[in-house]
Each structure stands twice: as C-alpha cells, then as structure tokens.
Amino acid sequence: MSDTLQKSSDIDLDKRPENGRATAIKSRLTSWDSIILVLTVLVLIVASFSVENFGTSRNFTFMVLDLLPIILIALPMTMIIVTGEIDLSVASTLGLTSSMMGWLWNQGLSIETIIPLCVVIGAICGVVNGFLITGLGLPSLAVTIGTLALYRGLAFVVLGDGAVADFPWNYTGWVTGTIGGGAVPNVLILIVVLALIFGIVQHATPFGRSLYAIGANAQAAHFSGIRVARTKFWLYVVSGAVAGLVGVLWTLRYSSARADNGSGLELAVVAAVLLGGVSIFGGKGSLPGVLAGVVLLTALQNALRLEDVSGQALNIVTGSLLVLSVLLPNITTAVRGNYHRRRLRQAASR
Amino acid sequence: MTTLSLHAPAKNLLKTRELGIVLALALLIAYTAIDNPRFLSGQSIRDNLLNTAILAVMATGQAVVVITRNIDLSVGSVLGISAFTVATMMSANPGLPMIVALLAGLAVGAVAGLVNGVLVRFGKVPALVVTLGTLYIYRGITYSWAGGSQVNADELPRHFLTFANDNLLGIPWLVLIALIVVGTGSLMMRNYRVGRELYAMGSSPAAAELAGIKVARNLLGAFVLSGALAGLAGVLYAARFGTVDAAAGNGMELNVVAAVVVGGVAVFGGSGSVWGAALGALLLTVIGSALAVLDINQFWQQAIVGALIILAICADRLVAVRIARSLRKRDAHV
C-alpha cells in the first residue's frame, strides 16, 4: 500500500498528473490484492456452476461457519503483520479460552458471565504477549512460539483431554443458525460488523496509517511522534481478545469445549493473511485483500470437499498460493527492473 | 587483533548461555533422581536418549538455518514425506539393506530442502513464508499419495524395525547417528570456514555479501542440510515407531524450533551453537519423562516448554544487552 502511494507520488513529480493517476490505477489493478480478489470471484462463480450443492443456502451457511474463526482472527493479525510483527499464539489462546469456558461452565457460572469472561481471558493472553514483546523488547516470532506452547499447555492443564458439551441450546443454536431460518447465517452479521470496524480503523484513521508507518520504518515512525510500543501492545491485546471471542464461538459451534480446539489454526490464519497480499516484513497490505484470501481458501476447500477430494490434498494448493503470492510480485518487479535498466542504458548511449 | 579482543567477552557470555542449559538439565535430573532413583537406571537413560535422538537430528539442521537468520518450518512435513517414502519402499522391497533406507531418506529430504533454499535465495521470498508454504505442500503431497492408508509394522522387514533398538558397543544406533550428526554439525559450525561464514551471514547478511562470502551457495547448503536431516529423522521415525501414516511428524516443527530456541540459538541469527540446540532437545525430552516420574500431571509438559522458551529468549536478550554494554565500555576506553 504505502509503496504504491510512494511510487505514484514519485511519478507525479516528473510527469503530468493524469499520467500519474493512470499509472496508479494500473498498479492498483495489477497489485496482488486485486488479483486475489478476481481469483476469489472466479472460484466462487465456477464452483457454483460446476460443483453440485455448492450454491445451496445450506452449503453457504457451512462455508460461513468454516470461514468464521479464520476471518475473525485474521482481522487483528493483518494489523500486527502490517506493523512487521507476528502473533502465532492465537490458536492456543482460542484453545485456552475454550478450555476455560468448559471449566467455568462446570463450576456452575451462567453462560452470560462466562462469555465476556472468556474474551477478557483472551485479552490477558494478549497482554502477556504485548508486554514480552514491547515491554522487554523480545522478538515477536520467538515470544509467540513460546506462548503458543504455553497457552495450549495451560488449556490442557485446565481441562485435560476431556470435553464439556452441555452448553445451552439457545446459544449453540444461535451460532449455527440463520436469521429467521433464512439463508443468512447469524454469525455473518458478526463477521460483517467486525470486518467493517477493523477495515475503517485500518484504512481510514490516523491510527491505521500509523500502522503502515511503523511497519515501513519503526524508528522513523517513533521520531515522527507515533507511539510504536504502545500501538503494538494494544494490537496484541485486541488480537488476544478476538482469539478469545473465537474460542467462545468455536466451542458453541461444535458444542464442545476441548483443550485441543483450533490447534494448528495459527498457520492457516497467517497463510490467509500473506495470501491476501500482506508483506511479512510489514508496511504493505490491505484488509480487502486478506478477506478475499480467506474466502478463496475456504471456498476452495469447501468445493473440493463436495467433489470428494481430500481436504488434506488441498494443502498443496494453499501452500503453492502462499509461496506464489510473494514469488510472483518479486518476479514482476525483477522483470520491470530489468526493462527499466535497459531503457536507462539506451537513453544514456543515445 | 581488535576484532579478536572484541569477540572474547561475547564468546564467554555465550559459553555461559550453554552452561545455563547444562545446569538446568543437571538440576532437573538430580531432583528427579532423588525423588525416584530409577530415573537414573540404564533403561530410563536409554529411553530418554532414544526419544531425544530424532529431535536432536532435526534440531541440528534447524540450528544451522536459524543461525543464518532464516527459519525452516517445513521440517515436520519433510519428516512425514520421507518416513512414508522409505516405509513404502522398504515394505515393497524387504531385501534392501538399512543403509539404502537411510540414504533414500536423506535424498528425499535434501530435495525438499533444496526447493526451500532456491525459493528463499532466488525467489527472494522470506524463509518464514517459503517454509510455511512448503509445510503445507509437502504434507499435502504425502496425504494425496497416502490417502488414509498407512504402513504397518508387520509389512516392514525385521532388520529395519530392529535397527532402532540394535546396539553398537552398547549404544543404540539411533543415538549413535544423532551423536554423529550433532558432533559433525558442531565441528563444522565452530571450526570450519563454512561454519563461520554462516554465522557471519546471520550477523549481517549485507556485510557478509560485501565481504565476498558465497552467500547463495552457503544458504542453499544450510537449507539442504536442514531438509536432509529432517529426511534422515523420517527414516529413524519409521524404524522406531514401525507404523507410518500421512500425519507422521505433524506439528513437529514447533518442537524443533522450541529445542533450538531453548538451546540458545537466537531467532535473529548469528549466535548460538548446534550442540546447544541438541542440549535443548535433550532438556525438552527429559522434562517430559521427569514429569512422568515425578507423577506430575503430564498436561503440564507443554506449558512448561512454553515457559522455558520465553525464559530462554529473555536470557538471550540479557546476554545481548550485556554484550552491547561491554562493547560500548570498550569503545569509551579507546
């Protein structure tokens, strides 16, 4: 994102403004997040025509439910990766809140108390990450690999390998149900509302812009008055809280609180975010691209499952897309660079 | 001369870093042995070493990659694909000697590692992204090949299965291989030119390139090594457990990274050692068995591992701060 802006403003200086705008639009259209958006729409169209039962409202509900955990966790994860950090502990936070939910329910607390409590527990997990990373200045990759093990371990300490399953039906039913029994799943409202909030914050507020500044150059951001450490700290807290919320939703969806709920989900989320065009080095990427990435992965998985292709074989597609999402832009840049240099050399020899 | 004297305090501090793991290990073993002397019996030690062997082999490759300021998350999937390949091969051709199985595993892993290395170096894709991608790809290949099937112990030749428990001079082959791998790896990283170049690449990739180090060759080498050792670990896995399905080694990458980080290899490269990483693998394994002996809820193991990782990173940070301070003092005197 910031790179695109940078490039177009450079061009504005020595070319006519219309030309600059055209270039900006062109680079916008050929950027990875637009490609992924088009790809997603294509997959959805092709799948609804060629895959039996893909377009049914029942399948749509299933797809949204499969989408739910990855898309919600991806919202704060996008911001974190844009600032150049990472949070690998999210799935374990989900597991810990799921465990705590089961344990608290066994203690006889009401579900209305448990749900906010679980979100708070998630936020506390985020506080620990945030403190270790911004307070002590430790590398986020290593810290969150550590808390990945720690939170998952605590989840097992809380609940062992048992499960708690007797959650009230009106809550589990709400998560899997649709609005008025129609085609729109209840949780879709939640996804839309949260995506809108995160989207506006990331793309239309000074705070959102500051995330890109931090990711592009943390030191420069610091000297221009952005509170780098504090911003990152709160991102981790939000990430933890959202993971906690997803822990609750996951538990209610399957009506089962287990310590191993959502294990391995962190890699799927990171893969979706990177697939959506966010740079692992920070400073680049957009939320629409990420949302498209998540939808693409889920739709592919769903369509292949309906076609009786093993979901595990889809891993090949996921992995290849992930690598290609970074490789292709690199190749085009290299080719463009070569072309540019040749032009310069020709101009010099003339 | 000046570079030498600058290096001395850094080296000493790093030495204490590995000493810390040895002390932690000694303390843990002493405490557990006092509680239950059987913890020090031959059988118990043997079990611990056997359980460490596979992890230590993979940690050696991972340590080399991490020292160059990269990471290899695909090792669990490489173990899986290698274990399944070798198990299928051995069940189809029971007459093949063990050495062929070992070489096949090494080769499968080396190819997988080469793909990682080429993408990182020539595709200019960050190692984290590449190996996260190939984690999925290699696992996906194994799944679409194996489907739901598995190779059972009764389909494998006897000499393949007994390899895990056979001894040479009283030391199980598995442990012997791990010792050779760790020993050679440590020696290479400590005393050989290529090893020191890998450290230089991790300390400052740009400076290493400018200093004329063959960065591309070394980096490919590091990834090929990590892949090959994960492949070797796959053979050892198949021999030790006998039953191999497409999920073999799933999630193993996190244990390996944990062992390396606990063993004092900093995630930002340029410091740590292979034998430290192997000690990390040993410590993680011993914690698991000590919990069982001490009759502590097994579920605590993962939480303790997590806490240990964080402690290890804090210790690294402390070392880094102390080095920075001592360097600054030195500069002030000059």
| HSE toward the beta carbon, residue B331, CA cutoff 13 A | 6
Alpha helices in chain B (DSSP H): 2-35, 42-67, 75-92, 98-121, 127-146, 158-162, 173-191, 193-203, 205-210, 215-241, 252-262, 274-293, 300-333
Identify whether the C-beta of residue A232 lies closer than 8 Å to the C-beta of residue A76.
no
The CATH number for A69-328, chosen from 1.10.10, 2.60.40, 1.10.3470, 3.30.1330, is 1.10.3470
Count Cβ atoms below 10 Å from residue A183 Cβ, excluding itself.
13
Q: Model confidence over B171-223: pLDDT tens digits? A: 788 888 999 999 999 999 888 988 899 998 988 888 988 988 888 899 999 99
Let me know how long chain A is: 350
Alpha carbon of residue A147 to chain centroid = 19
Length of chain B: 334
Residues in chain A within 8 Å Cβ distance of B124:
330
Nearest of A198, A197, A209, A195 to residue A283 by alpha carbon:
A209
Q: What pLDDT does residue A1 have?
A: 39
| Torsion region of B73: left, alpha or beta (phi above 0 gives left; psi -120 to 50 gives alpha) | alpha
CA distance B246 to chain A (A): 10
In this prediction, the residues of chain A whose per-residue pLDDT falls under 70 are: 1-30, 310-311
d(CA B81, CA B253): 14
Q: What is the pLDDT of residue A61?
A: 87
Return residues 281-320 of A near B (CB < 8 Å).
281, 310, 312-320
Spatial neighbors of B66 by CB under 8 A, at least 6 apart, are B202, B257, B260, B265, B266, B267, B269, B272
> Which among A146, A319, A331 is the nearest to B140, CB-wise?
A319
Residue in A142, A310, A316 nearest the CB of B137:
A316
Read off the pLDDT of residues A8-23 as tens digits, 9 standing for 90 and up.
444 334 444 455 666 6
pLDDT band at B5 (very low <50, low <70, confident <90, very high): very low
Kindly state the helix (H) or strand (E) to which residue A233 belongs, with its residue range: helix A228-254
CB atoms within 10 A of CB A8: 18
Distance from the B154 Cα atom to the nearest Cα atom in chain A, whole angstroms:
27
What would the CATH number be for the domain defined by B2-333?
A: 1.10.3470
CA distance A81 to A325: 15
Q: Across-strand partners of A257?
A: A164
- Asked if B306 and A151 come within 8 Å (Cβ–Cβ), the reply is yes
pLDDT value at residue A117: 94
- Cβ atoms of A158 and A99 within 8 Å: the answer is yes
Instruction: Determine whether the interchain pair B136/A322 forms a contact, defined as Cβ–Cβ distance below 8 Å.
Output: yes
Q: Considering only CB atoms, which chain A residues are within 8 Å of B257? A: 145
Could you tell me if B231 and B105 are in contact, meaning their C-beta atoms sit under 8 angstroms apart? yes
- CA separation for the pair A159, A95 (Å, rounded): 10
- The residues facing B172 across adjacent strands are B167
Closest CA to A250 of A163, A181, A308, A183: A163
Contacts across the A-B interface (CB distance below 8 Å)? 150
Pairing of strands B244-245, A257-258: unpaired
Whole-number Å distance between alpha carbons of B123 and B59: 25
Cα distance between the two ends of chain A = 36
Please indicate whether, in this complex, the C-beta atoms of B136 and A316 are within 8 angstroms of each other.
yes
Within 10 A of B44 (CB to CB), how many other CB atoms are there? 17
Q: Which of A80, A128, A312, A320 to mutate to test the interface with B (most CBs of B within 10 A)?
A: A312
Distance between CA atoms of A99 and B173, rounded to whole angstroms?
Answer: 41
3-state secondary structure of A164: strand
Domain boundaries, chain B: 2-333
DSSP state of A178: B
CB B181 within 8 A of CB B281: no
CB atoms near residue A112 (< 10 Å): 9
Residues 113-172 of A with CB under 8 A from B: 132, 136-139, 141-143, 145-154, 156-157, 160-161
**Contact between chains at A153 and B268 (C-beta distance less than 8 A):** no
- Asked if residue A261 lies in contact with residue A250, where contact means CB atoms within 8 angstroms, the answer is yes
* Category of B265 on φ-ψ map: left (φ > 0), alpha (ψ -120 to 50) or beta: beta
Residue-wise pLDDT for B288-333, tens only, equals: 888 888 878 778 888 888 888 888 888 878 877 877 788 787 766 6
Nearest-CB residue to B309 (from A136, A145, A271): A145
Q: How far apart are CA B114 and CA B128, in angstroms?
A: 15
Q: Distance between alpha carbon B2 and the CA centroid of its chain, in Å?
A: 34
Residue B322, SS3?
A: helix
The residues that bridge with B150 in the sheet, in sequence order, are B245
**Whether ipTM exceeds 0.85:** no
Q: Which chain A residue lies closest to B145 (C-alpha atoms)?
A: A313
Segment B135-162, tens digit of pLDDT = 989 988 988 888 778 888 888 887 778 7
Domain locations in chain A as residue ranges: 69-328
Residues of B in contact with A137 (CB under 8 A): 317
pLDDT tens across B10-19, in order? 555 555 677 8
In chain B, residues with a C-beta closer than 8 Å to the C-beta of A270 are 132
Pick from B128, B251, B307: CB nearest A264: B251
pLDDT for res A52 = 80
Cα Rg, chain B, nearest whole Å: 20
Nearest to A31 by CA among A328, A340, A341: A328
Lowest average pLDDT, out of A199-203, B170-174, B223-227, B230-234, goes to: B170-174
Q: How far is A319 from chain B (nearest CA, A)?
A: 4
From chain A, pick out residues whose CB is under 8 angstroms from the CB of B258. 145-146, 149
Chain A residues near residue B144 by CB distance under 8 angstroms: 310, 312-313, 316
